[in-house]
């Protein structure tokens, strides 16, 4: 069987009051008897509904309840709402108008932020509660409407890392665009947050979002707080580079990326950005530099955010949850950090012994490496960059090219032998043009007695051939080929068999010149065959 209960709190109070004066309602008492009964009833201690202690009620209160019940029954015993219900009695008209004006001009400002600001300025007393201000805004139609997600239903579970430094969140917030020194500057705020404690590890204000910026921010956090187990980042191109992936792998950090276009998957980081906007970014006023924004944000984090109770931590403060005694620190040595941030690239050394590294030109002092492909190594922690060439177990330093300085550097002396003297007292003979001149003279002498292939009469050809065959033998050779060739070393008749007047063996090409037969040896000079003479 269901239990019968009052439908609301007012009916519960009316039933309680009826139970107090019920014995008086059932009897008709004279004036003296009624006064005595009310006096006796007022001395009793009763526990009203919803109260933690007992109390007594005065005679006028009991008499008012009695006459109200006689006139209207149980409805007459219901408590009536105050005429100023919903209106803050601690808010005078001037203060009410001030609060409404602030909400109209700054609709993104939260009620706690408004109260904290007015109390710091001395314009609001500490007794005014946040619920009073919210009721005022609700009456005036100035309550804040939360933004709803228009997408379909998605099953999400509340999760949290089991201990500090188990998971770090990294993200960038797009702040307002400022006009500094006559140019537009986009404000980009980078931060790292610990999942288990909501503690802000590091935060930085920049004018861009690059992979190098996140690397520098991560290095700062690693030096201060040690190595985490995992790093949870956005899916943007800023966090998808090879340098960040290799760096985390070398340190044993698991790199995780959120799904694209799903900011709810990074709810802890997005909630901090919302808090930062409500308290700082939406109320910057006149800012002259990025350093001014950075100092304001850092003051908010250190003075307000870290010491304040956090709803996601069951009222505990992030600074207390992330205290050194509450977590295990994995320290990181500087040598291990430099090793993890050392990059190696293959580069070809130019003929002027220069190498291009990250868009800048460096030079070597070792000329023998010109034209070779070498390994260039540099650490991202070095400012300025100090690259070196690693080759055959050596580390050769590189320096920036200074063309003006190189213009005044004296040329090194010529190479000498081990003894310090020139290899020979005389210079080495090397004359390319002279060699060509000698070759040309030899070629013209060889072609001097050769008959022309084209043009001229047949008699001229025969006469030139006869005069060539009538030349005396060369003193360098003791024998002559049967064809009369002056170059016996090139004639096949001298190679195949000794000289024979009856059967010349010269491998010659035969051509018909008039009625005579003329042979041409390998040297290109024509001679009449002996059988045709």
pLDDT digits (tens, 9 = 90+) for 280-309: 998 887 888 899 999 999 999 999 999 999
What's the whole-model pTM score? Answer: 0.53
Print the domain residue range for 110. 93-139
Based on the fold, state whether residues 309 and 360 are members of the same structural domain.
Answer: no
Alpha helices, DSSP H only, in 2-58?
A: 9-25, 31-42
Average pLDDT, the chain: 78
* Within a domain: 525: yes
pLDDT value at residue 294: 93
Based on the fold, state whether residues 66 and 212 are members of the same structural domain.
Answer: no
- Cis peptide bond prior to 34, omega within 30° of 0: no
CA 141, CA 304: separation in Å to the nearest integer? 30
Last residue of a domain, one of 295, 326, 357: 326
pLDDT value at residue 46: 87
Position with higher pLDDT, 161 vs 489: 161
Based on the fold, state whether residues 100 and 21 are members of the same structural domain.
Answer: no
Nearest Cα neighbor of 500 from 483, 517, 486, 485 is: 483
* Within a domain: 37: yes
Nearest Cα neighbor of 201 from 160, 235, 162, 171 is: 171
CA 465, CA 525: separation in Å to the nearest integer? 8
Q: How many domains does the chain have?
A: 5
* Within a domain: 69: yes
pLDDT value at residue 110: 86
Based on the fold, state whether residues 375 and 240 are members of the same structural domain.
Answer: no
Strand 388-391 and strand 394-397: the pairing is antiparallel
pLDDT of 67-78, one tens digit each? 888 888 888 888
pLDDT value at residue 507: 43
* Within a domain: 444: no
* Within a domain: 163: no
**CATH number assigned to the domain comprising residue 275:** 3.30.420.10
Mean pLDDT of 174-188: 87
Q: Which residues 6+ apart lie within 8 Å of 97 measured at CB?
A: none
Nearest Cα neighbor of 10 from 85, 70, 60 is: 85
189 — pLDDT class (breaks 50, 70, 90): very high
- Asked if 189 contacts 166 with a C-beta cutoff of 8 angstroms, the reply is no
Q: Is the pLDDT assigned to residue 120 strictly greater than 90?
A: no
Based on the fold, state whether residues 36 and 110 are members of the same structural domain.
Answer: no
417 — pLDDT class (breaks 50, 70, 90): low
Positive/negative CA dihedral, 256, 259, 265, 266: positive
CA 76, CA 353: separation in Å to the nearest integer? 103
pLDDT of 252-271, one tens digit each? 999 999 888 777 778 899 99
519 — pLDDT class (breaks 50, 70, 90): low
Based on the fold, state whether residues 307 and 174 are members of the same structural domain.
Answer: yes
Based on the fold, state whether residues 175 and 259 are members of the same structural domain.
Answer: yes
Based on the fold, state whether residues 185 and 51 are members of the same structural domain.
Answer: no
Based on the fold, state whether residues 369 and 463 are members of the same structural domain.
Answer: no
């Amino acid at each position: 069987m269901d239990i019968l209960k009052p439908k609301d709190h007012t009916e519960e109070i009316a039933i309680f009051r009826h139970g107090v004066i019920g014995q008086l309602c059932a009897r008709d008492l004279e004036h003296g008897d009624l006064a005595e009964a009310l006096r006796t009833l007022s001395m009793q201690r009763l526990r009203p509904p919803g109260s933690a202690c007992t109390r007594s009620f005065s005679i006028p209160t009991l008499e008012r309840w009695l006459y109200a019940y006689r006139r209207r029954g149980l409805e007459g015993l219901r408590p009536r709402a105050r005429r100023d219900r919903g209106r803050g009695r601690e808010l005078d008209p001037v203060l009410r108008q001030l609060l409404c004006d602030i909400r109209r001009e700054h609709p993104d400002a939260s009620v706690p932020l408004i109260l904290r600001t007015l109390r710091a300025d001395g314009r609001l007393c500490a007794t005014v509660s946040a619920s009073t201000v919210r009721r005022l805004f609700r009456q005036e139609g100035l309550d804040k409407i939360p933004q709803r997600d228009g997408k379909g239903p998605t099953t999400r579970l509340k999760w949290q890392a089991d201990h500090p430094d188990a998971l770090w969140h990294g993200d960038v917030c797009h702040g307002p665009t400022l006009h500094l020194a006559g140019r537009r500057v986009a404000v980009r705020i980078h931060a790292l947050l610990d999942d288990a404690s909501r503690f802000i590890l590091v935060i930085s204000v920049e004018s861009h979002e690059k992979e190098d910026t996140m690397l520098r921010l991560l290095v700062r956090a690693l030096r201060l707080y040690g190595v985490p187990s995992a790093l949870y980042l956005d899916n943007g191109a800023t966090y998808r580079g090879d340098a960040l992936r290799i760096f985390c792998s070398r340190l044993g950090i698991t790199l995780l990326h959120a799904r694209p276009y799903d900011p709810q998957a990074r709810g802890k980081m997005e909630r901090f950005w919302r808090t930062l906007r409500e308290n700082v970014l939406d109320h910057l006023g006149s800012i002259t530099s990025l350093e001014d924004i950075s100092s304001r944000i850092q003051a908010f984090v250190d003075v307000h955010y870290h010491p304040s109770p956090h709803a996601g931590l069951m009222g505990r403060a992030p600074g207390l949850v992330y205290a050194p005694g509450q977590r295990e620190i994995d320290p990181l040595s500087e040598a291990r950090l430099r090793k993890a941030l050392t990059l190696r690239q293959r580069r070809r050394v130019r003929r002027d012994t220069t190498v291009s590294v990250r868009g800048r030109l460096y030079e070597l002092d070792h000329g023998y490496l010109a034209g070779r492909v070498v390994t260039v190594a540099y650490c991202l922690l070095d400012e300025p960059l100090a690259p070196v060439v690693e080759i055959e177990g050596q580390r050769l330093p590189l320096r920036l090219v200074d063309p003006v300085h190189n213009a005044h550097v004296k040329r090194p002396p010529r190479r000498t032998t081990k003894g310090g003297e020139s290899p020979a007292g005389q210079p080495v003979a090397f004359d390319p043009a002279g060699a060509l001149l000698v070759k040309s003279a030899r070629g013209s002498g060889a072609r001097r007695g050769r008959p022309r292939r084209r043009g001229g009469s047949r008699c001229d050809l025969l006469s030139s051939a006869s005069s060539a065959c009538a030349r005396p033998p060369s003193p360098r050779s003791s024998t002559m080929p049967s064809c009369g060739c002056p170059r016996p070393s090139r004639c096949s008749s001298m190679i195949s068999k000794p000289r024979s007047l009856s059967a010349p063996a010269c491998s010659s090409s035969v051509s018909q010149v008039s009625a005579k037969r003329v042979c041409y040896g390998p040297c290109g000079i024509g001679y009449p065959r002996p059988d045709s003479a």
